Amino acid sequence: VSRAGVLFLNESDVGWQPYFQSWVDQLQQDHEHIDTKATAWLEALVTQYVPPIIDNIRKNKWKHLTDLMDFAMVSTLCSILEGILTKKNVPPGTDKDTYEAYFQFAAIWAFGGAFGADKANDFRKMFSEWWRTEFGKTAFKFPDDGLVFDYFIEEGTAPKKGKHWREAISKYTHVTGEGASFSSIVVPTMDTTRLTFLVKDLTSRQKPVMLCGGAGSAKTTIFQDFLLNLGEDLMYFNVNLNSFTNSGSLQPILEQPLEKKTGTMFAPPGTKKLMYFIDDMNMPAPDKYGTQSAIALLRQQVDYGGFYDLKKPTMKENR
Instruction: Tell whether 200 is covered by a domain.
Output: no
119 in a structural domain: yes
Higher per-residue pLDDT: 156 or 235 = 235
In a domain, residue 30? The reply is: yes
Q: Are residues 234 and 164 in the same domain?
A: no
**Whether residues 156 and 297 fall in one domain:** no
How far is residue 125's CA from residue 123's CA, in Å, rounded to a whole number? Answer: 5
Mean pLDDT over residues 6-33, rounded? 89
Domain hosting 48: range is 14-168
Q: pLDDT tens across 237-260, in order?
A: 999 999 999 999 999 999 999 999
- Total domains in the chain come to 2
Cα gap 222→192, rounded to integer Å = 6
Q: What is the pLDDT of residue 57?
A: 95
Q: Is residue 65 part of a domain?
A: yes
Considering the domain boundaries, does residue 215 fall inside one? Answer: no
What pLDDT is attached to residue 10? 81
Whichever domain contains 163, its CATH number is 1.10.472.130
CATH number at residue 305: 3.40.50.300
**Is 211 within a domain?**
no
Residue 235 sits in the same domain as residue 162: no
Confidence (pLDDT) at 256: 94
Of the candidates 128, 150, 168, which is a domain's last residue? 168
Q: Are residues 116 and 31 in the same domain?
A: yes
CA distance 32 to 223: 33
In a domain, 301, yes or no: yes
> Do residue 131 and residue 255 come from a single domain?
no
Q: Tell me the pLDDT tens digit for each residue of 216-241.
A: 777 888 888 888 888 888 899 999 99
Q: Given this model, what pLDDT does residue 228 score?
A: 82
Which segment of 17-21, 189-193, 248-252 scores lowest on mean pLDDT? 189-193
**Whole-number Å distance between alpha carbons of 119 and 132:** 24
User: According to the model, what pLDDT value does residue 44 have?
Assistant: 96
Distance of alpha carbon 141 from alpha carbon 108, whole angstroms: 13
Of 168, 200, 216, the domain-final residue: 168
| CA–CA distance, 270 with 136 (Å, rounded to integer) | 51
pLDDT band, residue 180 (cuts 50/70/90): low
